[in-house]
Amino acid sequence: MTATTSRVLQVAPGRHGAYPSIGDAIRDAPDGGVISVAEGTYAETFDLTDRRLTLQANDGADVVIDGTGADWPALRVRGGSLTVRGIRFLADVEGIVAAGVTLTVELCTITARSGPGISVRDSTGFAISRCKISGAAQGITIDGSSGRIDGTRIENVAGDGLVVGLGADPEIANCTILGCGQRGVYVYQYAHPTIDACDISGTAQDGIAVAHQSRPVIRRTKIHDLQGAGVSFGADCAGSVLECTLTNTAEPAIALAAGATPTITEAARPVRSGGDGLDDLLNDLDAMVGLAAVKAEVRTVVDEIQVDKWRLGAGLTVGTVSQHLVFTGAPGTGKTTVARIYGKLLKALGVLPRGQFREVSRRDLVGQYIGHTAEKTATVFEECLGGVLFIDEAYTLSRSSGNGGDFGQEAIDTLVKLMEDHRDGVAVIVAGYTDEMDGFMAANQGLASRFAKTIEFENYEAGELLLIIDRMASDGDYRLDPGAHPVLLDHFAAIRGGESFGNAREARKLFEGMRKAQSRRLRALGRMPDTDELRGLLTEDVLSCL
């Protein structure tokens, strides 16, 4: 028996043998037919009943179906099955409206001014994949339907971004919803969708609102920077919130009405925005991988400053405590991150009024002629008053570094004087390799006395670097194959401590290489990967970039 292929009808105005309009092709297309549309704007709208068709742009062409000016949807479908691929829709009312149909919408962009971008009702097995919807009254509405929405972006809609109701149970994965005039996702009337690995932000109301005895499963989703609660559950609603992150939302971040009984994991508990409190900042410090000795040293400085403030408040004398620090160690060991947290800690303690952070290097301080360096250094210093001045590779300023060292010495001498004149107005942190920093501290007789202590940042252990990789994967919605762990441990153990070893920078460089290797592997599949494949980083991805 000979296999048959679907008949393809070409739409290309002005081309001999092709249809001049999409409507003409639809009229003649048999069931199962494919309508391939050439690049251009087509001022047409369509109303299909019980048809089985595929409507697609021809080889990546920019195809626009312009339904503006009409008081009906750009595309209405009832019954049958329809696949729409790679087309832009413009509509004054609704973009795509489907009822009782097997619908697939891929790689489409939809703008609808006074209705939903896509509306699906009473349909089984619908799929909306890698689409973009903007400028609509609602993004997508799903009623009484089962299916999947994947990799889709909904932004700048007047109302709710995504509405799921009337018992619908779609899977919603890897979607981004932002800039909604009402809620990001509204779940109502017994709906029970699964919302997985999505990002919801910038809504004027709740990130996700659950009502009318609905019970969604919300997991691994980031909900942040919005005016309402992160998730709200109405009376008699259930479901679960699992491994989610809620940041910069209204309080409470998860709002429960009387009778609401969702399951909420500890990982889904709200995260305080900005981490401005002293305990929050110390928790941020503790959350960093490794650095046990560094954390202890910073806590010692914080404890001493705190106690001195209490003593002053009690009318007791206190000694002079410098808030300036020296950070020594190899690159990629967290010196800059710790310096940022330290500045915020000093602000939380009331030591620094602003707590701003400025990172500079030799070129920001050293001029090209005598007198220019003092001016540049003073300008930078004054801009940092009330905050932290972080000088990376500070040893390059000392005479022993060469390359116009006299001008570097001028920067050091100016810095020492400014630190004395503004003893309590700024925190200066100098950082660099351990041996080189010893030479820097000897470059001016009064330099060493200006700093409270030196904190040594040791190289990360192989296991700590593996943990950094795992965190990068988790933060990026990837899942690293456990079989890759021994390979990574052996790799880090072999290169750790080498002359050019970059610590966490090596981990990030390797992670980016793994992502690129995964991209190459998935592109070679010749089909769209499923969600597990998109998340999976395999051992072969690791091996390909070692």
Domains of the chain, each with CATH number or no CATH: 8-268 (2.160.20.10), 278-456 (3.40.50.300), 462-543 (1.10.8.60)
Q: Two tokens at 314?
A: 């009690």
Q: Is the pLDDT of residue 502 over 80?
A: no
Coil, strand, or helix at residue 504?
helix
pTM, two decimal places: 0.53
Tally: H helices and E strands in the chain: 13, 37
- Would you say how long the chain is, in residues? 546
Percent of the chain clearing pLDDT 90 (strictly above):
40
Q: How far apart are the first and last CA of the chain?
A: 50
Alpha-carbon distance of 19 to 404, in angstroms, equals: 74
Q: Percentages helix, strand, coil for the chain, rounded to the nearest 5?
A: 30, 30, 40
Alpha-carbon distance of 104 to 444, in angstroms, equals: 72
Alpha-carbon distance of 187 to 162, in angstroms, equals: 8
Residue (of 471, 467, 470, 479) closest to 174 by Cα position: 479
Q: Two tokens at 493?
A: 């153990």
Q: Pick the residue with more confidence: 452 or 59?
A: 59
Q: Two tokens at 362?
A: 């030799």
At 36, the pLDDT band (50, 70, 90 cuts) reads very high
Please say whether the beta carbons of 311 and 462 come within 8 A. no
Which tens digit of pLDDT belongs to each residue from 47-73?
999 999 999 999 878 999 999 999 999
Average pLDDT, the chain: 87
Please say whether the beta carbons of 150 and 130 come within 8 A. yes
Which tens digit of pLDDT belongs to each residue from 239-248?
999 888 898 8
Alpha-carbon distance of 360 to 382, in angstroms, equals: 13
Coil, strand, or helix at residue 187?
strand
Q: Is the pLDDT of residue 38 over 90?
A: yes
Alpha-carbon distance of 504 to 459, in angstroms, equals: 9
